[in-house]
Amino acid sequence: RDSQQADTEHLSRWKKGRGTDSKSLKKALSEVKGLSSYLVLWRHDIHSIEGKFGTGIQSYFSFLRFLVLLNFIIFILMFSFVTFPIIISKYGIFNSTIVYISPKNIEDICTIYEPSGNKGLVYLYAYLKDLLSGTGFLEVTSLFYGYYTIDAVWISIMRYNLPLAYLLATFAYLALSFLWIIKRSMEGFKHNLVRDEDPFQSYCNKVFAGWNFCITDPNAARLKHRILRYELQMDLQEEKLKQRIAERTMQEKLRIYSLRIVINIIVIAILSGCFYSIYRVTVFSQENSNVSIRNDTRTDLANLLVQYLPSIVITLANFIGPLIFSFLIRFEDYTPAFEIKLILLRCVFLRLANIAVLLFSLWSQISDCDTDKCKPCGYNYKLYPCWESDVGQEMYKLMIFDFIVILAVALFMDFPRKLLVTHCTCKLVQWFGLQEFVISDNVLEIIYGQTICWIGTFFSPLLPAIATIKYFIIFYVKKMVLIHTRKPAARPIRASSSNFFFLLVLLIGLLLAFIPLGVSIARIPSSKACGPFRNFNTSWEIIPDTILEFPTGLQQILFGIASKAFAVPVFVI
Amino acid sequence: AYKRFSELLPKEERENACSARVPKSQILTLPELRANPFQDRICHVFSTSDTRDDSMSFEDFLDMLSVFSDSATSDIKSHYAFRIFDFDEDGTLDRNDLEQLVNCLTGQGEESRLSTAEMEQLVQNILEESDIDKDGTINLSEFQHVVSRSPDFARCGALQR
């Protein structure tokens, strides 16, 4: 009986233990959930911005946070699959060695590539110059494509096919970005649809149900008042404008439409002017930038300027273009909502097309084959023995210059303006006033930077790390600029529609990035003097080659899928 | 809730909280009402004081909280909202009520009001949308009809706990 009692005692204690175990497990889980919400990056900062400036500006900062995370993940992806194996093998960990297969059937002249890593005495400004333009000592580091001149890595007994990993990691980060953006925009899209207002009731809805009774902070209340007033005024204006449009006579319609055609032609002319100047400047810069041997400061500086010329021209175009567009659109007499959308569309097109033109002009230089310049190798081997590194350098320069411009504008335009407005009481300055935080311009800025990062990561695998750090710093810079120098917006914007719009434009940037990468990988012959794809005609060729090494059954399946994969999208479209 | 109510009373009257009345100025120190443009109307509507000084007893306080809570039906909420918006207390929302309502929404102060033309246009639009019998005013049933089709109403009427 005693043993029975001991048994039951033991059993009940065990049961109690299990009961408390599951309870404590639940408690632990909920505590972990609570803690992990604290780990979300910048949660407190974005919350306070939302409270003070409204949800429109808060959506900009959440978007920035999303890009920081995206770039960080892309960097981890590229680093772990591409750079890390090489580092392991360079230090011989796990008995790893590098396999270096010299290219066959290729003329020797194509394989000459001597990047001038720093030899001899190094002056500080040469160091700085190299840092800014990606040449010199930076060119031979793992930052650029040229470093990865390795065909395979043996890690113990496993053969790690680096070229294949490089290409697949590229596809992986593009696919990851694509899927993540779509996922985020799905949430925003559903929200957008649900909030679609019944056009028959919009006024009643705004007036009777406009006030959110949860607001307790007087600042938030003032903001809400402003938002309500602005929305009501905008709706009333749109209604009046629509009435006016409906009452237009035939003569007025003709006048307006012909004016619109003229203005659109002007816009196209301006865009073509930008594109042409970018093309000429890029060609000029590529032809005239050579590494100077003499340590003469003045030629070095001029050389640096010439190298940065495309970036400078692009930034100028990105800055002046929107000003001209917003000036011209006043003559076109659209409703305010449509005006905003059209200006944004034109600005987006301007920024993204500028990058496309830059890349196009680079390629025209690389594949410039008039006078037998590229006969042996398929590309202009004299000027570009390692053309992928050159493209990587251009992207690197664009990114660095973009960063410098953002910092410079914050430092030299916003803060002095604020100082001027607070201390100088002259009427002209007061009328000029503080600047508003224009969300669309800022968002286009960071989307432009992100597109450069996507295109450049194939040519410069460590570029996402630079992008992550850049956006991280930009968050704090913009936050300080917002809090200290911006006046509250007179035209507050609704958040749900803006979120969806940002993601849409980001998606357009990503799809645009597919094109240059596709052309580089599949059409232009890879350089024979550097990089993991020396033994292939183009970078894409490694995939068919690898498939041919699979067993025949698998090959047939893959070919079947490939042909179906062509049929299905065509069918769907 | 009782605790919050008794906090509003001066110290001497705390034990008698069940029967005491809190003056309007104290009620307005509640965080939910502080930033609310309709604070005066809310106090007035829920107050059952005989002296018409808008002071609230504990029952009035409970009434107010229950109407603004999540568990109140939209019927109750719209009924009370109608009473709150009816500034001249004539049982209907006429032009003057609507004008005052819009002014409350857009904020205090001269520069935050709509211009007369805009106000005229807005009031006209509201009446077009909600006045079914075209008598120039909105009565309770028309108001409830309009509000039931409005997606934002349920969200806005709930005070946080």
Tens digits of per-residue pLDDT, A393-427? 889 989 999 999 999 988 887 777 777 777 777 77
Could you tell me how many helices (H) and strands (E) chain A has, helices first? 19, 5
Residue A413 placed within a domain: yes
Tally of structural domains, chain A: 1
Report pLDDT digits (tens) over A199-228: 556 777 777 777 766 666 677 677 777 777
What is the pLDDT at residue A472?
92
Alpha-carbon distance of A419 to A406, in angstroms, equals: 19
How many structural domains are present in chain B? 2
- Residue A1 is assigned to a structural domain of this protein: no
Q: Do residues B61 and B92 both lie within one domain?
A: no
pLDDT-derived band at A468 (thresholds 50, 70, 90) equals very high
Going by their DSSP bridges, the two strands A97-99 and A152-155 should be labelled as: antiparallel
Residue A244 vs residue A215, higher pLDDT: A244
B146 CB neighbours in chain A (<8 A) are 201, 204, 208
- What residue numbers bound the domain in which B146 lies? 74-156
Residue A272 lies in a domain: yes
User: Token pair for residue B91?
Assistant: 């049982």
Residues B79, B53 share a domain? no
Using CB atoms, which residue from B118, B130, B159 is nearest to A204? B130
Q: Is residue B52 located within the same domain as residue B86?
A: no
Q: Which residues of A touch B72 (CB under 8 A)?
A: none
pLDDT at position A455: 92
Q: Is B25 exposed, middle or buried (0-12, 13-18, 19+ CB in 10 A)?
A: exposed
Q: Residues B47, B98: one domain? A: no
Q: Given CB atoms, is B28 within the 8 Å cutoff of chain A?
A: no
Q: Is residue B60 part of a domain?
A: yes
Which residues, in sequence order, are CB contacts of B101 under 8 Å at separation 6+? Answer: A207, B85, B87, B93
Which position has the higher pLDDT, A301 or A514?
A: A514
A276 located within any domain: yes
Q: What are the backbone angles phi and psi of residue B31, rounded to the nearest 5°?
A: -60, -35
HSE, side-chain direction, 13 A CA sphere, residue B158: 12
Note whether residue A253 is domain-resident: yes
B49 and B83 belong to one structural domain = no
Does residue B55 sit in the same domain as residue B78?
A: no
Range with the lowest mean pLDDT among A90-104, A335-349, B68-82? A90-104
**Residue B49 near residue B21, CB atoms below 8 Å:** yes
- Total-model pTM: 0.74
Per-residue pLDDT of A374-385, as tens digits, reads 666 777 777 777
| pLDDT score at A292 | 44
Q: What is the CATH number of the domain that holds B102?
A: 1.10.238.10
| Mean predicted lDDT score pLDDT of chain A | 78
Q: Is residue B161 part of a domain?
A: no
pLDDT at A571: 59
Which pLDDT score is estimated for A293?
A: 44
Q: Indicate whether A534 belongs to any domain.
A: yes
User: Which residue in the block uniquely carries the two structure tokens 């930033």?
Assistant: B35
Report pLDDT for B160: 44
Residue that terminates a domain, selected from B24, B48, B68: B68
DSSP structural state of residue B93:
B
Contact A213 B156 (CB under 8 A): yes
Please indicate if any CB of chain A lies within 8 Å of the CB of B119. Answer: no
Q: For residues A62-90, give the mean pLDDT.
A: 89
Query: Has residue B137 been placed in a domain?
Result: yes
Q: How far is A436 from chain B (nearest CA, A)?
A: 19
**Does some domain include residue A251?**
yes
**Domain range for A298:** 46-572
Percent of residues, chain A, with pLDDT higher than 90: 12
Contacts of A214 in chain B (CB under 8 A): 32, 158-160
Size of interface A-B (CB pairs under 8 A): 107
The last residue of one of the domains, among B17, B45, B68, is B68
Run of H or E including A475: helix A463-485
Residues B114 and B152 in one domain: yes
Rounded Cα distance, A285 and A184, in Å: 40
Out of A12-26, A140-154, A508-522, A530-544, which region has the weakest mean confidence (pLDDT)? Answer: A12-26
B30 and B81, same domain (yes or no) = no
Residue A345 inside a domain? The answer is yes
Q: What share of chain B is helix, strand, coil (3-state, %, to 5)?
A: 60, 0, 40
Q: Which regions in chain B score pLDDT beneath 70?
A: 1-20, 31-32, 49-54, 108-112, 151-161
Instruction: Inform me whether the C-beta atom of residue A242 falls under 8 Å from chain B C-beta atoms.
Output: no
Which chain A residues touch B153 with a CB distance below 8 Å?
A: 205, 208-209
Q: How far apart are the first and last CA of chain B?
A: 10
For residue B41, is it within any domain? yes
Chain B's closest residue to A209, CA to CA, is B153
| Alpha carbon distance, N-terminus to C-terminus of chain A | 80
